[in-house]
Structure 1
Amino acid sequence: MKEFVVIHDYLVSAEVVGDWDEQEDLAAERINEIYHTLYDLAEEDIPTEQLTGLLGLVWDNWIGQETLVELESEDIYDWCRHVLENRDQYLDT
Structure 2
Amino acid sequence: MKGTLVSSSATDILELLSSREIEVLGHLAEGHTYSSIARRMQLSPHTVDTYLRRIRGKAGVNNRAHLMILALQVTRRDEVRLTGA
| TM score, norm. by length of structure 2 | 0.34
| TM score, norm. by length of structure 1 | 0.32
Q: Which has the higher helix share?
A: 2
Greater radius of gyration (CA): 1
**Higher-RCO chain (CA-CA 8 Å, sequence separation at least 6):** 2
